[in-house]
């Protein structure tokens, strides 16, 4: 159970871009909790990328601003420089994960034991998961594979989220199912994405509508990834 409740909602957002600031304002407005996965090797770097046939800002938050921006939420590892771990040897995997863990833990003042695998496509496998599990302080690692399920998972080192932000219609469909669910066992609704995608797809208002829909239900626990997955 999650603080005496069988239902829990959590969010996970990657890359640590400046759009996180606006997103966190929405989360705080509705009493929601999220985990933000950050590449500490890219602090303060500017840039933009093309998504949905438009150029959007992809500027990373500065190191000095991280504790204040994310104070109400959880910070987690996203590797030092966002490399696809399935393409690396064990030594490089450990360097990418452990250096990010050390940097983020120092900045935040707590052990950043969560993680999200970087890159699209096939970004994780059993080899990588076992290396992380057996050689690092990381206690869970999220994939990008939607499960469309609320059932708890036993393998926290290849943890599949419920749904991806850009599967917007499915996200709302699952929300209505979750809200109407009379759960007699633990159930988790886990949503992930990137905050810059709200700019690329004009989803800010739609996502705030979603947050309003799922917030402030007495039978739901709202927590960070660690609070829900690790108890």
Domains of the chain in start order, with CATH, are: 7-229 (3.20.20.370)
Instruction: Give the span between the Cα atoms of 219 and 142, in whole angstroms.
Output: 25
Q: What is the pLDDT of residue 231?
A: 87
- 3-state DSSP assignment of residue 51: strand
Place of tokens 């749904």: 163
- 3-state DSSP assignment of residue 200: helix
Q: What is the pLDDT of residue 1?
A: 85
- 3-state DSSP assignment of residue 154: coil
Q: What is the pLDDT of residue 228?
A: 97
Beta pairing partners, 221: 8
Instruction: Give the span between the Cα atoms of 122 and 143, in whole angstroms.
Output: 9
Give, for all 231 residues of the chain, the pLDDT tens digit. 899 999 999 999 999 999 999 999 999 999 999 999 999 999 999 989 999 999 999 999 999 999 999 999 999 999 999 999 999 999 999 999 999 999 999 999 999 999 999 999 999 999 999 999 999 999 999 999 999 999 999 999 999 999 999 999 999 999 999 999 999 999 999 999 999 999 999 999 999 999 999 999 999 999 999 999 998
Q: What is the pLDDT of residue 164?
A: 98
Element (H, E) at 96: helix 90-108
Instruction: Give the span between the Cα atoms of 189 and 138, in whole angstroms.
Output: 22
Q: Are 191 and 11 in contact (CB under 8 A)?
A: yes
Q: Interhelix angle for 126-135 vs 90-108, to 10°?
A: 50
Q: Tell me the torsion sign for CA atoms 19, 31, 191, 107.
A: positive
Query: Of the candidates 76, 83, 222, which has an alpha carbon nearest to the alpha carbon of residue 142?
Result: 76
Instruction: Give the span between the Cα atoms of 226 and 230, in whole angstroms.
Output: 5
- 3-state DSSP assignment of residue 190: strand
Q: What is the dihedral of CA 210, 211, 216, 222, to 10 degrees?
A: 120
């Amino acid at each position: 159970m999650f603080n005496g409740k069988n239902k829990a909602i959590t969010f996970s957002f990657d890359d640590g871009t400046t759009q996180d600031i606006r997103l966190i304002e929405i989360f705080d407005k509705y009493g929601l909790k999220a985990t933000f996965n950050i590449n500490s090797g890219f602090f303060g770097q500017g840039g933009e990328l093309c998504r949905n046939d438009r150029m959007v800002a992809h500027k990373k938050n500065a190191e000095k601003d991280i504790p204040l921006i994310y104070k109400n939420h959880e910070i987690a590892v996203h590797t030092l420089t966002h490399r696809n771990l399935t393409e690396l040897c064990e030594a490089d995997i450990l360097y990418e994960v452990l250096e990010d863990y050390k940097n983020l833990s120092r900045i935040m003042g707590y052990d950043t034991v969560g993680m999200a695998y970087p890159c699209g496509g096939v970004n994780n496998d059993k080899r990588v998961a076992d290396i992380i599990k057996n050689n690092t302080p990381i206690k869970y690692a999220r994939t990008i594979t939607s499960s469309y399920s609320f059932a708890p998972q036993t393998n926290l080192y290849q943890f599949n989220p419920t749904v991806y932000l850009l599967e917007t219609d499915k996200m709302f469909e699952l929300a209505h199912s979750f809200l109407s669910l009379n759960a007699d066992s633990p159930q988790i609704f886990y949503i992930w994405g990137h905050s810059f995608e709200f700019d690329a797809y004009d989803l800010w208002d739609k996502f705030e509508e979603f947050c309003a829909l799922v917030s402030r239900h007495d039978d739901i626990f709202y927590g960070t990834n660690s609070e829900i997955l690790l108890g």
